[in-house]
Amino acid sequence: MSDPVLELIQKNNLKFSVSGRDYLIKCLNPEHDDSNPSFRVDKVTGVAHCFACGFKTNLFKYYGVFTNLVPMKIMALKEKLDALKKFGQELELPQGYTPWTKVFRGISPATLKHFGAFYTNAVEKLQDRIVFPIKDITNKTQVFVGRHTMSSGNPRYVNYPQGVTLPVFPAHLPSGYSSVVIVEGLFDMLNLYDKGCENVVCVFGTNTLQNDIKAKMLPFRAQGITHVFLLFDGDDAGRKAAKIYKPLMEAEGFITEIVDLPDGTDPGELSDEDIASIAEYVTK
Ligand SMILES: [Zn+2]
């Protein structure tokens, strides 16, 4: 991979040393006689700061170099994510769990397997449920979400353990996408994925994403996602939520579009043809 910051330093014949994630060079402030280089330049972004005199700049700006900073910002985000990955606990799968191998509510076994669906009798709260390990951005399981196998089952969903903040799921998309479709429910997400729209995530209801939207969307920015499509349920709550989220997503730097569904339709019920046309639209 090219290294634009280093190239810029070498092109300008600056003496430098490496210090962690920075290059150390002589201060660029003409009023600072910097005998002991204390000017730190971020290796990735070119953001530069002198801790002795307080002078701040960006190396590209300083040398009048026009550059596309987006790839560098993405690299910086990836480094942040790597740092996050060093922390965090993981839940273990219950003993004696059985991987799910049948069609469930029209979702193919391959898709259910892809998202780790299983069945267990070892945890009472998860009995008679199709259970999904919900992984966070660090790829660690934070919570199990179980949907009752009977549509009349009550409650329809349980989270185990309770009280865990649900992440956006999945936290990573298959590579190569620049857009993401956001849906409300787990089975909305599974339905879209199953029928060929793989760049889809669910937010477990419209209230959860507002908390910590920056952190939750960070992995997608790091993946190079630039467009967000809000595909919420075709009801008052879904439409209201889409209107709330559009400016929030835009504030995070995503080009955001609301995909409005007909009244009474939710993405979990969409047919193959509907989803094929959505997939085509959001990847155009
Ligand atoms: Zn200085």
Mean pLDDT (whole number) for 249-269: 93
Residue 243: its pLDDT value, please? 94
| Span 198-216, pLDDT tens digits | 999 999 988 877 777 888 8
CA of 72 to the centre of ligand 1 (A): 24
CA of 75 to the centre of ligand 1 (A): 27
Residue 254: its pLDDT value, please? 94
String of DSSP letters for 50-93: ETTT--EEEHHHHTT-----HHHHHHHHHHHHHHHTTS---PPP
Residue 36: its pLDDT value, please? 81
Q: Report the side by side order of strands in the sheet with 157-160.
A: 98-99, 118-119, 129-135, 141-148, 157-160
CA of 44 to the centre of ligand 1 (A): 20
CA of 14 to the centre of ligand 1 (A): 15
Write the CA distances from 218 to 40, 153, 228, integer angstroms: 25, 35, 13
Residue 105: its pLDDT value, please? 93
CA of 8 to the centre of ligand 1 (A): 19
Q: Over pLDDT 70: what percentage of the chain?
A: 94
- Asked if residues 277 and 192 have their Cβ atoms less than 8 Å apart, the reply is no
CA of 59 to the centre of ligand 1 (A): 14
The answer to whether the predicted template modeling score (pTM) of the entire model surpasses 0.95 is no
Residue 76: its pLDDT value, please? 73
CA of 83 to the centre of ligand 1 (A): 29
- Give the CA count within 13 Å in the CB-facing half-sphere of 265: 12
CA of 55 to the centre of ligand 1 (A): 5
CA of 27 to the centre of ligand 1 (A): 4
- Asked if residues 255 and 228 have their Cβ atoms less than 8 Å apart, the reply is yes
Residue 68: its pLDDT value, please? 66
Mean pLDDT (whole number) for 237-245: 94
Look at residue 83 and tell me whether its pLDDT is greater than 70. Answer: no
pLDDT band at 28 (very low <50, low <70, confident <90, very high): very high
Token digits for 34?
A: 């910097």
Mean pLDDT (whole number) for 171-193: 94
Look at residue 89 and tell me whether its pLDDT is greater than 60. Answer: yes
Q: How far is CA 273 from the centre of its chain?
A: 27
From 184, 166, 169, 180, select the one nearest 235 (Cα to Cα): 184
CA of 53 to the centre of ligand 1 (A): 4
